[in-house]
């Protein structure tokens, strides 16, 4: 357990836990240590301190969905060296909560799908496992140590090509995080996540750009059809086909990833998410967030 410059009662709490569990090893990073590396400094210290080969990572605000979380995730080490898990957000009222949960599902659907197609490009630090030897063979985060983000996408892109990868979608293998409560904090977080995109391999830039591009072109096409006064029947048929495909594709995955409450109106969140993501990309073109927030 890495206690990275906490300002609450974490140190006292962890020390009490350590008295009850001899397997708990605490690594404390003092307040005066200035590294500017986001989670990378803490992760590196934690990984160096770890005594065993199998690493299972999560964040301080994440709660396992089951007492069998470690067992469920680590069982994949029988066949894989990297395990991509799902880190959801708690369900609350409000539009922001629904958009965050849908966007989290949408991202997971993509990285799970590409992993199954042997094109692994990311995981999420909230629920990620890999072998310790992969970290040191890759010289840790050395190639992108100059930016605070990248520990769960740029790093995974580097180690995945020569490693076996598994995905874990079972509820027992999931974690749930405290949801971000303000638009400002969420916007900052998403912009920070997107700041690593320019460093992605070219093939991933293309692949990840195709889906939102197709969505955007469809949206523009529908608007243009209205402008040129195309028969309303044709437009409705086109929309119906799009919705049918979307409902068929997303049903099982949304149920397994515990966002089935968004299922029937997910096309609305999909459209909102698309427009928001386009704005994030445009914002990052002009000004990139630099300061790391815990």
Residue 188 lies in a domain: yes
Confidence (pLDDT) at 290: 56
Q: Is residue 29 part of a domain?
A: no
Who's near 186: CB < 8 A, 6+ residues apart?
Answer: 96, 100, 180
Contact 156/82 with Cβ under 8 angstroms?
yes
User: Is residue 288's pLDDT more than 90?
Assistant: no
* pTM of structure: 0.90
Q: How far is CA 177 from the centre of its chain?
A: 12
How many domains is the chain partitioned into structurally?
A: 1
> Per the domain annotation, does 26 fall within a domain?
no
pLDDT at 118: 96
pLDDT bracket for residue 294 (50, 70, 90)? very low
Which pLDDT value is given to residue 22?
A: 80
Q: How confident is the model at residue 228 (pLDDT cuts 50, 70, 90)?
A: very high
Phi, psi of 70 (to 5 degrees): -60, -45
- Judge whether 11 lies within some domain: no
Q: Is 291 within the bounds of a domain? A: no
What is the domain-level CATH number for residue 134?
A: 3.90.550
Tokens representing residue 289 in the block: 């967030």
Domain assignment of residue 257, yes or no: yes
Residues 6+ apart with CB under 8 A from 239: 222
Range of the structural domain that residue 139 is part of: 35-286
Residue 12 lies in a domain: no
Kindly state whether residue 8 falls inside one of the protein's structural domains.
no
Residue 18's pLDDT is what?
Answer: 79
> Tell me: the pLDDT tens digits for 56-83?
999 989 999 999 999 999 999 999 999 9
């Amino acid at each position: 357990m890495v206690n990275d410059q906490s300002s609450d009662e974490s140190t006292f709490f962890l020390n009490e836990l350590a008295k009850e569990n001899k397997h708990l090893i605490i690594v404390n990073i003092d307040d005066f240590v200035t590294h500017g590396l986001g989670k990378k400094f803490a992760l590196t210290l934690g990984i160096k301190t770890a005594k065993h080969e199998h690493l299972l990572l999560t964040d301080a605000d994440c709660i396992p969905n089951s007492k069998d979380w470690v067992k469920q995730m680590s069982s994949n080490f029988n066949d894989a060296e990297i395990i991509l898990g799902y880190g959801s957000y708690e369900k609350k009222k409000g539009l922001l909560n629904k958009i965050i949960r849908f966007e989290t599902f949408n991202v997971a659907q993509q990285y799970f799908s590409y992993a199954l197609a042997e094109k692994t490009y990311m995981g999420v630090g909230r629920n990620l496992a890999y072998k310790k030897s992969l970290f040191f063979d890759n010289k840790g985060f050395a190639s992108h140590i100059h930016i605070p983000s990248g520990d769960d996408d740029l790093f995974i892109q580097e180690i995945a090509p020569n490693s076996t990868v598994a995905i874990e979608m079972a509820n027992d293998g999931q974690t749930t995080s405290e949801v971000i409560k303000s638009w400002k904090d969420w916007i900052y977080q998403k912009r920070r996540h997107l700041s690593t995109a320019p460093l992605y391999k070219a093939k991933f830039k293309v692949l990840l750009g195709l889906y939102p591009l197709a969505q955007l072109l469809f949206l523009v096409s529908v608007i243009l059809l209205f402008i040129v006064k195309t028969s309303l029947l044709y437009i409705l048929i086109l929309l119906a086909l799009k919705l049918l495909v979307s409902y068929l594709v997303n049903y099982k995955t949304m149920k397994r990833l515990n966002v089935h409450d968004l299922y029937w109106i997910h096309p609305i969140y999909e459209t909102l998410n698309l427009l928001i993501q386009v704005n994030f990309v445009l914002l990052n073109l002009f000004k990139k967030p630099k300061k790391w927030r815990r």
